[in-house]
Chain A
Amino acid sequence: MDQTTTSPQTTHKARSFSFSWAGLLPFLLPILLIVIWQVSVSAGWVDSQLLPSPLAVIQDGIALWQTGELPKNISISLYRATTGFVLGGSIGFILGLANGLSMFSRRLLDSSIQMLRNIPHLSLIPLVIILLGIGETAKISLVTIGVMFPIYINTFHGITSVDPNLMEMGHAYGLSKWEQFTKIIFPGALPTILVGVRYALGVMWTTLIVAETISSNSGIGYMATNAQEFMDMATVLLCIVIYALLGKLSDLIAKALESLCLSWQNQGGASRE
């Protein structure tokens, strides 16, 4: 009998041990940075006025939460981000769909959209402030413009990249145009569309930060700018951490959406006849 054979139980234990380490790995670097940061401030290597410790930032967060300022500003920023994302995402998706499916629409619109897409949307801030002021419409419009193009490009590219052989199969099997869209074109384009969604979520936060920093009297960006004027470094850092956490949350939502809609991509390991 082969003496070197490992028992299934041992293998299982080894696997779960390595799995738990793999699960912790993404947290290792942030934890290490926070520890170094805390130690540097506590040991006096860094001026705590210039860089408050993580504990001071947390305490500042708790205090702002208790006064109601933090939840109010987070909810305003979330409202602007989601409204802009839904509007920009819908416009980008509809335009991508129209130009992907119709040659007439593509000829009419694509050239103009490509021209507009190449204008950095943040350069529109002065124009938006002059036209729309510093109210909600201005900030939501900027997010809308920023989000629209990645969703447009990915929807358009996704639809035009669907395997023509599958389309031909659908035609040969007598599928109606609607059935071809729902059963072949849209599912075929979905992986690319979701890449656009993920990218657009990043653009959404970047645009909002800039918009709230330049022209606002509420929101996380405003909190950071206001704190900067009072040299309140703890709040400035708190705002940066909140943006990082909201960004991570968006990414997790995008990933969850991908694993929900694209579960078929993880299937494999062909069986043998």
Chain B
Amino acid sequence: MSNALVTLNHIDKQYGDNHALKDVSFDIQQGEFVALVGMSGGGKSTLLRLIAQLEQPSAGTITYSQPNLVTRVMFQDGRLLPWMTTLQNVSFNSHDAKVKARAQATLEAVGLSDFAAQYPAALSGGQKQRLALARALMADPQLLLLDEPLGALDALTRRNMQAFITQICDQKHLTTLLITHDVDEAARMADRVIVVKSGRNVYETKGAKGQDAETVARVAEEVLEVILAPEQAVTARA
């Protein structure tokens, strides 16, 4: 029996003459970690924005398992409020004692409790992304959408953050959609990897989350091959 949290049916999205998405259909199961991978401009971020209801599809439907599904997006640039401290960013400067206590606990969970009184400008790149993650986790989302959240980080911090996000998502049994152009990242973090190319979901495979480096490399290689292959060949494979 399907336990889909979100289902996309024949989604099309057009911006004027630009056909950004063409007949995209897939679903995300409850508790699953799905990675959408592909080259820049392929339509990955558009898909995330549609799922987050920041935009509406030109055609097709997106069905959610319940009407008021709590969804949170963690953006690539963090989108932190520079005039609020770390704690205020997580609680949106709420004066409610319960919200503040919860924000403090969330900061502790992402290892930023010592930085509660600091402003985002005083944090490193990795810490800023942890803060963005803490803010996203505050609402106990049923669906977490990660829009290339680690794209601007150096290789070492990026690797640490990949492990950290995977661990948090597992602990909280979060249903997660990751957008990335890094095939290694997609293979390492996801249960399922979907390749998006020229506005279509052309291929999908099992991810290598929690598996050895060799398996991760094999999945990454398989995905990369699809991304780099000529379009007709991919359609045939899928």
Contacts and interface: CB of A to CB of B under 8 A. Distances in A.
A147 to B, nearest CB: 26
Range class of the B interface residue count: 20 to 34
A264 B83 contact: yes
B232 interface: no
Nearest to A168: B54
Interface in B101-124: 115, 118-119, 121-124
B203 interface: no
A272 B121 contact: no
B90 to A, nearest CB: 11
Contacts, number: 63
B121 A264 contact: yes
Given A175-B92, A270-B124, A187 B79 contact: no
A169 B75 contact: yes
Nearest to B88: A183
A262 B82 CA distance: 10
A169 B126 CA distance: 19
Contact of B92 (A179, A188, A265, A270): A179
A67 interface: no
A8 interface: no
Contact of A269 (B54, B81, B122): B122
A21 interface: no
Chain B interface, >50% SS class: loop
A273 B54 contact: no
Interface in A139-187: 165-166, 168-169, 171-175, 179, 183-184, 187
Contact of A173 (B72, B83, B121, B126): B72
Contacts of A172: 52, 54, 72-73
Contacts of A272: 124
A163 to B, nearest CB: 8
B160 A273 contact: yes
B54 A268 contact: no
A265 B81 CA distance: 12
A267 interface: yes
Contacts of B123: 270-271
A226 B81 CA distance: 54
Q: Pick from B52, B54, B72, B121 the residue with the most CB of A within 10 Å.
A: B121
A172 B125 CA distance: 22
B122 A267 contact: yes
A184 B93 CA distance: 11
Interface in B171-212: none
6 contacts: A168-B79, A169-B75, A187-B81, A188-B83, A264-B119, A270-B122
Interface of B: 52, 54, 72-73, 75, 77, 79, 81-84, 92-93, 115, 118-119, 121-127, 135, 139, 157, 160
